[in-house]
Every structure is written in C-alpha cells, then in structure tokens.
Amino acid sequence: MPTDNSHSDSWILAAQCPSRLGTVDVVTRFLKERHCYITELNSFDDALSQRFFIRAVFRPEQGFDEQAFQRHFAERSGEFDMSFTLNAASRRVPTIIMVSKADHCLNDLLYRYRIGQLPIDIRAVISNHPDLEALTAWHQLPYYHLPVTAETRAEQEAQISEVIDASGAELIVLARYMQVLTPAFCERVSGRAINIHHSLLPGFRGARPYHQAWEKGVKLVGATAHYINEDLDEGPIIAQGVEAVDHTHSPDDMVARGRDIECLTLARAVRYHVQQRIFLHQGKTVVFAD
C-alpha cells in the first residue's frame, strides 16, 4: 500500500457550531495550551444561517494523546454547542470505487493512489461491466463484477452494500458509474459518496452530450463533482472545473478536454473530502479549498 510520511505528525481538527463570540478563540487557545503548533487555519461564518465553520491543521510539539485531546476539547467546546472531528493527517480513508466502462477517471485515481498523491486506501473496485477488471488487477486490487438490470437493481445494490460493509469503506467514489442509484441506496451512503459528471451550458442530457454541445457551438466545457443524493446529478457540489473551447475544436477534441477535466475535478473532490475540507450545510457545501 502507498505510504506518505509528509504529514505523519500532523492532525486535522474540523468543527462547526452556531455563530457566537469566541468561536475562533476556543479552538486556537485550546491548541496553544496543548502545545500544538497550527500550520493551517481556515474559518468561515455564514451570516445568513448564523453558522460557524473552522478547520485547523496542527503539529503537536509534545506527546499527543488523541483520546485525551478529544475528551478535553469536547468539554471546552461544549458551551459553544460545537461538533467536531479529529483525524491524523496521514490517515488513509478506506475507499471503494464504482465504475462502468469508461476508464479515464478510474485510471487517474489508481495512479494517484499508487504514487501516494491521494490519501485513500482503495479496498475494491465495483462495476456493472467486466471491462476494467484487468486494469484493476494490475494494481492488485479486488474487482467485483455486479451486473444490473432494471429488475435486479435492488439485489445488485444489496451486493454493493455487502462489499462496502465487508471492506470497511468510508468513502465511495463513482468514477463514471453510469447507473441511476435508488433513493434508498443514496440515503445509505449520504455524505460519503462522490460522483463526477460533465458540466455543459446549456445542459445536454442523454447520449453523446459533447457532440450535442459541439452542434450548438458551446464555448465552455467542464465537470462537476458532488455528493450524491436522490436527485440525479444535483447533489451538493464539491468542486468544478472548466476550460474554454472554440470553433476549431472537433467533437472528439471536446470529449478529450472533458475527460481531462473530469479526472482533475474528481481527484480534487476526493482530496478535499479525505482532508476534511468539506462541511455539508443546508443542502450545500462549505469547502476550504487549498
């Protein structure tokens, strides 16, 4: 499994609470008292909802007891009604990738995983087609071919759930998985399943969207990564990418540009998730981009 020791001694504290005086101080003062040096700090106050969000990356300068830290910080932040998570920056999140036939996003994620660029631990790849088994096997990862039809969707999703549970996966990445998921499954993986799709304006649905866009003379192509929900391609947005095109670009050129943007945008969204840069709030996201 890839290793990355660049953050081996760092921790990430992510918290949110109602807006009130002293929210930054309760975090920074506590870290100072615990002899923790802050290397990165982001905060945001949503004036409309009166909600406060903060993320701190810190390096302990003395011995560090994770359980004691969590217990004492919960006591200190309790008066602010603050919820928080604490994770080692070096922790690799157990991940399942779901794909269909297109290989560009899967190939990109596997490469970034192999060289240690993405802090994830890929436990398996799931597909409704057999096409990408060889690519997955080359990376010495399990591959589950789980075919699906409209009549067997519930049964197939139950099989997917079994793989997720057995692998201990905390993150599910839909790397061009071209099947509509049931509301029940979307609810089961809410907040931990990321999807990628093209972003073209105006919108084009159905087959060959880039060819449709070319026929309309579209000048921008892009991609959107988002958490899934029961509304197709309309979940909370994490990251987006865009690139200009013009009349000199053929449909195939636009498809190639779109693939590149999809890969970059999906990888960015996965990284933001595992680095605890994302807060879900009122059907949207607060994202502390790097």
Distance CA 176, CA 184 (A): 20
CA dihedral defined by 229, 231, 237, 240, rounded to 10 degrees? Answer: 130
Q: What is the pLDDT of residue 199?
A: 82
Distance CA 64, CA 34 (A): 9
Percent of the chain at pLDDT > 70 equals: 97
Q: What is the pLDDT of residue 209?
A: 85
Q: How many CA atoms lie within 13 A of 31 on its CB side?
A: 22
Lowest mean pLDDT among 21-25, 72-76, 94-98, 197-201: 197-201
Furthest CA-CA distance within the chain: 63
Instruction: Kindly report whether the peptide bond that precedes residue 147 is cis, defined as omega within 30 degrees of 0.
Output: no
pLDDT tens by residue, 244-270: 999 999 989 998 999 999 999 999 999
Distance CA 214, CA 256 (A): 13
Entry pTM: 0.92
Distance from the first to the final alpha carbon of the chain: 25
> Taking 70 as the threshold, does the pLDDT of residue 5 lie above it?
no
What are the phi and psi torsion angles at 279 (to 5°)? -120, 130
pLDDT tens by residue, 9-67: 899 999 999 999 999 999 999 999 999 999 999 999 999 999 999 999 999 998 999 99
pLDDT tens by residue, 168-225: 999 999 999 999 999 999 999 999 999 999 887 567 777 788 888 888 898 998 999 9
Share the mean pLDDT of the chain. 93
Whether residue 237 contacts residue 197, with contact meaning beta carbons closer than 8 Å, is answered with no
Q: What is the pLDDT of residue 130?
A: 97
Q: What is the pLDDT of residue 8?
A: 61
Q: Which of 9, 46, 131, 233 is catalytic?
A: 233
Distance CA 281, CA 46 (A): 10
Q: Would you list the domain boundaries of the chain?
A: 11-88, 93-287
Active site residue 260: no
**CATH placement of domain 11-88:** 3.30.70.260
**CATH placement of domain 93-287:** 3.40.50.170
